[in-house]
A and B are shown apart, each in its own frame.
Chain A
Amino acid sequence: MTDINKLLKDADPLRDDDGLSCDEAQAIRREMMGAIPDPLVTVPAWRRPLTIAAAAALILGVSGAVGHRTSSTVSESSAPDTPTTALGSSGTRQLRFATPGGTRIIWIFDPNLRLQESMP
């Protein structure tokens, strides 16, 4: 019967091993300390919902303000300008109106135009 315990104790490498020297231990310690990951500057978990809520509120506020401004501009300018007719300085007949964008359009009618003549 093989005495495993005795064989293992006889063969124990620690019988002839002095263990880690101070230098070896310090070298391993330095390696370990050097391997500590740099702390990431992260927002604490409790701040994340507040940040998201603030961002959402900001987006809603900005979009609301822009929307309101656009709609008020459109409502102010979208009122159709009543076309007016007038006589020009040279006696030509003019039709004047403004588009919702603010462009003023003036049609000058040809005084020689005869609709009846152009009809077939």
Chain B
Amino acid sequence: MTGQAIAMTATADRPAEDSAARLGNLFDAHHQRLHRLARRLSRSAEDARDLVQETFLRAARHAASVPEGAGHEEAWLVRVMINVARDRWRQMAVRRRGATEIANAAAETSDAESAMLARSIIWQALQRLPPRRRAILVLYELEGAAIPAIARLLGVTSVTVRWHLSVGRRELAAAVEGQFGKTQG
């Protein structure tokens, strides 16, 4: 009986060590890239750090779900990160509060600070977008990723990516033009 228990413990330890080593490698390989994306998906550096941490915690809890291969790993992590961001986005009801924040930012800034205002408005408008659309805009506009690559990364079709890009750009343009119109009018 004792011999059997020892044998079972020994077989269970090896996968645990493998899993820890694999997660360590996963973190080392992807944390910088993931943080860059998180920073562009978050309102603050602190939120970005939390987003990265939560993503890797989910990876640790569901290590068996992480696919093999650098490309697949990255895609899995990005999708998890967008899901985490979506959960937070829903909880914080950014969509409802964003309009007020943009209005306040526009009212409090003078015409001389229009460049800063534009940056503030575009970024706050970006925060109002659903996380997947925001991620697509960030990946395409800021990271320069191609549409098929974004589609592969997010597990959607190229048509979906183009649609999100189109709608996202329209929403951002409307937010910026609307707020500039208000401050100038």
Size class of B's contact patch? 35 or more
Are B137's CB and A8's CB within 8 A? Answer: yes
Residue of B nearest to A29 (CB): B27
Are B122's CB and A20's CB within 8 A? Answer: no
Min CB distance B7 to A, Å, is: 10
- A32 interface residue per 8 A CB criterion: yes
Given A13-B39, A17-B39, A42-B12, A8 and B142 contact (CB-CB distance below 8 Å): yes
Residue of A nearest to B27 (CB): A29
Are A32's CB and B118's CB within 8 A? Answer: no
Q: Contacts of A2 on B, CB cut-off 8 Å?
A: 172-173, 176-177
Are B8's CB and A43's CB within 8 A? Answer: yes
Size class of A's contact patch? 20 to 34
Residue of B nearest to A31 (CB): B53
Given A28-B56, A36-B19, A44 and B11 contact (CB-CB distance below 8 Å): yes
The total of Cβ contacts below 8 Å across the A-B interface reads: 107
Among residues 1 to 39 in chain B, which have CB atoms less than 8 Å away from a CB atom of chain A? 5, 8-9, 11-13, 15-16, 19-20, 23-24, 27, 31-32, 35-36, 39
Are A14's CB and B56's CB within 8 A? Answer: no
* Residue-wise interface mask of A (33-61) relative to B, using a CB-CB cutoff of 8 A (1 in contact, 0 not): 10111111111100000000000000000
Are B31's CB and A20's CB within 8 A? Answer: yes
Min CB distance A82 to B, Å, is: 53
A13, A40, A41, A44: most-surrounded residue (chain B CB, <10 A): A13
Are A7's CB and B9's CB within 8 A? Answer: no
Binding site for A on B (CB under 8 A): 5, 8-9, 11-13, 15-16, 19-20, 23-24, 27, 31-32, 35-36, 39-40, 45, 49, 52-53, 56-57, 59-61, 63, 115, 118-120, 122-123, 126, 137-138, 141-142, 169, 172-173, 176-177
Binding site for B on A (CB under 8 A): 2, 4-5, 7-14, 17, 19-20, 24-25, 28-29, 31-33, 35-44
Q: Which 5 A-B pairs have the closest CB atoms?
A: A11-B119, A39-B16, A35-B60, A32-B56, A7-B122
